[in-house]
Amino acid sequence: MRNLLEELPKEYEQLHGRCRFCCDFVAPEHVRERDVLDIGCGFGWFERFAARLKPRRLIGIEPRDADLAAARSIAAETGAEFLCAGAFQLPCAAASIDTVCLWDVIEHVPRRSEPALFAEIARALRPGGVVYLSTPFASVRAAAFDPAFWLIGHRHYTVARLAALAAPAGLRLTAGTVRGRWFELAGILNLYFSKWVLRRQPLCEAWFSRGEDADLCREGYMTVYVRFEKT
């Protein structure tokens, strides 16, 4: 999740909406005493959560060194390594990682490059390793109210589409769900409006956060979350 408001990483208890659901979606056994790689770590919110489970190694990457400034501010606290690297050339030896996370990343890679992305992830994973991923869902409502969909071709996916893209790399779908409703939709618009027009924190942030958390307790139409396993 991009740090639009240049916030410092938050504690798990302070996370809401998609960030909170991503943490809850990850099985603790896939982090505890495992080697974990977070592609597109942003401002380090997932590292702050994952460090609680005491992974063997925790790595967050971003393609530009400047994007790691906020994340590195908590490196000493979490024990995470924050490295400048791209998703298509992961800074990992073959079969050296147990768990890979991509939270709202795949929609930003070049169009039709998803198979190459999954192939590189599979290269880094040990047999039986897992991949967790979130991305905008391909629903009419999610696309219609996503400014990035119209302005920069922000892609949206279904569970079936993601499974088909990952399968050639030997990644098998083991879990998939779609969450988020109108509170998440409105919250996204509020975030962009507050950031780019008002230059401030989101309006009525606490109210929107409570609504998003309630939305994520049931099936929705905004964000798809999937888990793959390397066969």
Q: Quick one: pLDDT at residue 40?
A: 96
The percent of residues in the chain predicted with pLDDT above 90, rounded, is 62
Interval 123-153: pLDDT, tens: 999 999 999 999 999 999 888 878 778 777 7
Q: Quick one: pLDDT at residue 98?
A: 98
Q: Is residue 4 part of a domain?
A: no
Q: How many domains does the chain have?
A: 1
Q: Is residue 179 part of a domain?
A: yes
Among 92, 93, 95, 107, smallest CA distance to 170 is for: 95
Interval 63-81: pLDDT, tens: 999 989 888 887 768 899 9
For the whole model, what pTM was predicted? 0.90
Mean pLDDT for the chain overall: 90
3-state secondary structure of 139: coil
Residue 211's pLDDT band (boundaries 50, 70, 90)?
confident
Q: Quick one: pLDDT at residue 190?
A: 75
Q: Quick one: pLDDT at residue 105?
A: 96
Q: Quick one: pLDDT at residue 193?
A: 76
Residue 2 predicted with pLDDT over 90: no
Among 184, 110, 113, 187, smallest CA distance to 153 is for: 110
Q: Is residue 6 part of a domain?
A: no
Q: Identify which has the larger pLDDT, 196 or 104.
A: 104
Alpha carbon distances (Å) from 219 to 137, 145, 175:
12, 19, 14
Among 75, 69, 177, 67, smallest CA distance to 59 is for: 75
Interval 40-58: pLDDT, tens: 999 899 999 999 999 999 9
Give, for 72, the enclosing helix (H) or strand (E): helix 69-72
Q: Which letter does DSSP use for residue 89 in this model? A: S
Residue 107 maps to which CATH number? Answer: 3.40.50.150
Q: Is residue 21 part of a domain?
A: yes
Q: Is residue 203 part of a domain?
A: yes
Q: Quick one: pLDDT at residue 3?
A: 46
CB-based contact 213:20 (threshold 8 Å): yes
Q: Is residue 198 part of a domain?
A: yes
Interval 149-201: pLDDT, tens: 877 778 999 999 999 999 999 999 999 999 999 888 887 777 777 777 877 77
Q: Quick one: pLDDT at residue 188?
A: 76
Domain carrying residue 138: 12-230
Residue 231 predicted with pLDDT over 70: yes
Q: Is residue 7 part of a domain?
A: no
Q: Quick one: pLDDT at residue 195?
A: 75
Q: Is residue 1 part of a domain?
A: no
